[in-house]
Amino acid sequence: MIRWIVFVAFILFVDFYAYQSIKRLTKNLIVKILYWVVSFGILINLLYKLFVFNDSRGLTQPMMLAFGLLILFIIPKIFALLILFGEDVFRVLKGFFNRFSKSPPKVFLADRRAFVSKVALALAAIPFSSVLYGMARGKYNYQVINHTLYFNDLPEAFDGFTLTHISDIHSGSFDDEEKIVAGIDLINEQASDVILFTGDLVNNTADEMEPWIAHFNKLKANYGKYSVLGNHDYGEYVQFNSEEEKQQNFQKIKDLHPKVGFNLLLNDSVYLEKGNDKIALVGVENWGTRFKKLGDLNVASSKINEEDFKILMSHDPSHWDAEIKNHQNNFQLTLSGHTHGMQFGIEIPGIKWSPAQYVYKQWAGIYTELGKYINVNRGFGFLAFPGRVGIWPEITVITLKKK
């Protein structure tokens, strides 16, 4: 209860502070009333959704929308608050300075300047428009990112072999069939040799994927489609009536993979063969420093040889530093997802930033150490916040080349 009181108090404090710029710039009573109607409406809507939250379903689209609306309006207000608070510090310091001057003014605290309020509102418009775009279009702004990776020990026949890496579908969040179909078509347009999916097919329950099976079943690759599980595929974030019901849901989620044409690897491996050569594709169950540790590298690679060229699929990138990169079996390329790049950040030439980097050392894109690589896919879908700002949904195409 205390944390919710603190949360509401913080929101109201931000609302009150941001309101000062509105009050300074207009005397229109309707505008002022509208400000508070919208602010209270968004907050009350979220609190209501939390109050009636059904933990047997987990995060629903209405809940995510309520959260998204709060983000849409509160972040711009925080930006405005920073400007207004800076002005208040200046006003107070100036008031103390004037108090001890030879001719102190009658008023200790000078009025707010209209110019500063205008600057605050102008600054607030930037994150508002960014978040609004992220919720309306950014979450389906699919980007194809290409990487070419070179290996000394890549078999000759696989020189130029291509793979499409997707992750974090989160089908329970989808709300636009046309956009999803466009994303699936874009995956197929890459015409990669193999498609690899690194987990989180659903948010919570198997039924979320049912409406989308026919669409994802259209994914095509000459050397097949393979997948692993992510932390959300285990039903850990909903309350089931019994352990038996939870396990039934888990089995249904595993059964979804072959329905969409994915060969699900549960601590297992297969060989991809081309000409007289072969490479090993290894898939582990979820293993994360903050989540379930079910992935077993030794079991997963028990059917292949240590000298084989290996591609490993492991949902959580924290697995790479913890176990993979120093493992005796030498996994040359690891594919992960999970972070979503926090669905918020800045990626422009010279700048790559997201709050995700304070949680995960490898959070988006290609990283290399000890002659090995990991690619962290930014995710195909979205979760919790119904949008993406600066960190767009990703389709990765990796070309393997022999040095």
Cβ neighbours of residue 342 under 8 Å, at least 6 residues apart?
354, 355, 356, 359, 363, 391
Interstrand relation of 365-369 and 372-376 (parallel, antiparallel or unpaired): antiparallel
Tokens linked to 193: 């040799």
pLDDT for res 91? 75
Torsion of CA 270, 273, 278, 284, to 10 degrees: -20
CA distance 111 to 27: 15
In a 3-state reduction of DSSP, which class is residue 226? strand
Phi, psi of 142 (to 5 degrees): -65, 135
CA distance 118 to 234: 50
In a 3-state reduction of DSSP, which class is residue 224? coil
Torsion of CA 327, 332, 335, 341, to 10 degrees: 90
CA distance 315 to 167: 8
Sign of torsion over alpha carbons 140, 144, 145, 149: positive
CA distance 132 to 73: 9
Q: What is the CATH number of domain 138-402?
A: 3.60.21
Q: Which of 177, 179, 189 is nearest to 214 (CA)?
A: 177
pLDDT for res 103? 63
Q: In tens digits, what is the pLDDT along the chain, a chain of 403 residues?
A: 788 899 999 999 999 989 888 888 888 999 999 999 999 999 999 999 888 877 777 788 899 999 999 999 999 999 998 888 887 777 777 767 766 665 656 555 556 678 888 888 899 999 999 999 999 999 999 999 999 999 999 999 999 999 999 999 999 999 999 999 999 999 999 999 999 999 999 999 999 999 999 999 999 999 999 999 999 999 999 999 999 999 999 999 999 999 999 999 999 999 999 999 999 999 999 999 988 899 999 999 999 999 999 999 999 999 999 999 999 999 999 999 999 999 999 999 999 999 999 999 999 999 999 899 999 999 999 999 999 999 999 999 999 999 8
Helices (H) and strands (E) counted in the chain, each on its own, are 9, 14
pLDDT for res 208? 96
CA distance 400 to 192: 11
**Domain spans in the chain, listed from the N-terminal domain onward:** 2-135, 138-402
